[in-house]
Amino acid sequence: MDTRRDFLQKLGISSLVLPFMPLSGLATTKTEKLYDGPVLRVAIMGLGGYGTRVAEAMKSCVKAKLVGVISGTPSKIKDWQAKYSIPEKNCYNYENFDEIKNNPDIDAIYVITPNALHYDQVIRVAKAGKHVICEKPMAVNAKEGQEMIDACKKANVKLLVGYRMHFEPKTLEVIRLRNAGEFGKIMFFQGQCGFKIGDPAQWRLNKKLAGGGAMMDIGIYAINGSRYMVGEEPVWVTAQETKTNPQIFKEGVDETIQFQMGFPSGAVASYLSSYNINYLDRFYLVGEKGFAEMQPSTGYGPIKGRTHKGELTQPHITHQTVQMEEMAGIILEGKEPIVPVNGEEALKDLKIIDAIYLAAKTGKKIPLKL
């Protein structure tokens, strides 16, 4: 059965007929049927800036719908109720959200809270019998990540992680080209991710809430990006940390880390993760037969890229809209994404981050087994 999403993929992604028109702006045509399949009913936990971005993007979804909220701030709940027509019975706080197990109108919870809170909240959601979408990093270390995976498996619910780039059209085109052999044997990857952070009092600079610093927030993009662009799992890592302002970047909160990884084929990678350098959002992949460059590579878009064959021209559609549509398909229809977004995928990034911190601390080359 044709669906609205199928139609958009045919027109918006394959033929690029409507490259920048939002999903909600497309009129029904004779070849399109209004979507009448299952809809993933989602509650967002954490009503901050990114939670708002996801909520706005979901207005254009047809397979996913925002139906509930979880927040510790009553005024935010009231605002979201009015803005998104959320019924009172679907509103919870951090103390009582376990009661969501008795609410048949909510299928999944999207956890968008500070990193260190994910562990407890995801496990509680799983015990409540709801599917989980968790922002990255999934946890603050691999031990917690594994326990979250185990809890979701025990509860027989899905655990997905907010890797929006795994659905981004230009990113997927680079992966397709690599799989088709267009770059030849991959030799080198470079990933640069960073920005100069603002408010020194924010939670991202609080070790107890963030679990680290720039690496947990922005460096993870370069780690994950190298894995899907190189197409292999790294086998070793080395790292060097630089800290110029210990008053802002306190113990356990990394300011800038340079790190390197090696892959089984012999490909090597170089990375820069920073909270003190602007304009870092670039991936560069080099093979024996060609290259791919993306800059910006992970921002909210539009992503820009080129290869030795020319500019990448795939359309920009709001990342969070595509992500939620595709995740609805994964949860409700058993779809398999080109690049995984499950807990096991996120656990690999956490293992690498653990090793990077250890390498930076010890100065040693740390073997990886993912």
Structural domains in the chain plus CATH codes? 4-162 (3.40.50.720), 165-315+343-367 (3.30.360.10)
pLDDT higher than threshold 50 for residue 28: no
Residue in 63, 130, 136, 348 annotated catalytic: 136
- Which 3 state secondary structure label does DSSP give 112? coil
Amino acid making up residue 328:
A
pLDDT at 24: 39
Of the listed ranges 18-32, 44-58, 229-243, 283-297, the one predicted with least confidence: 18-32
pTM (predicted TM-score): 0.91
**Residue 56: count of CB within 10 angstroms of its CB:** 15
User: H helices within the chain, ranges in order?
Assistant: 4-8, 49-58, 74-84, 118-127, 142-155, 169-179, 207-210, 214, 220-230, 319-333, 343-362
136 is catalytic: yes
CB-CB contact of 239 with 360 (8 Å): yes
Tens digit of pLDDT for each residue in 186-221?
999 999 999 999 999 999 999 999 999 999 999 999
Looking at residues 238-256, what average pLDDT do you find? Answer: 98
Query: Average pLDDT, stretch 289-316?
Result: 97
pLDDT in tens, 351-369: 999 999 999 999 999 999 9
Strands 256-262 and 268-274, bridge-based pairing: antiparallel
Q: How far is residue 120's CA from residue 67's CA, in Å, rounded to a whole number? A: 22
Which contacts qualify for 290-297: CB closer than 8 Å, 24 or more apart? 290/177, 290/182, 290/183, 290/184, 291/183, 292/174, 292/177, 292/178, 292/183, 292/229, 294/170, 294/171, 294/174, 297/191, 297/221, 297/225
Q: Which of 9-18, 19-28, 358-367 has the highest mean pLDDT?
A: 358-367
Selected catalytic residue, list 221, 271, 284, 357? 221
Q: Give the model's confidence band at 22: pLDDT under 50 very low, under 70 low, under 90 confident, else very high.
A: very low
Check if 221 is active-site. Answer: yes
pLDDT at residue 33, as a whole number: 75
> Tell me, what's the pLDDT at 169?
98
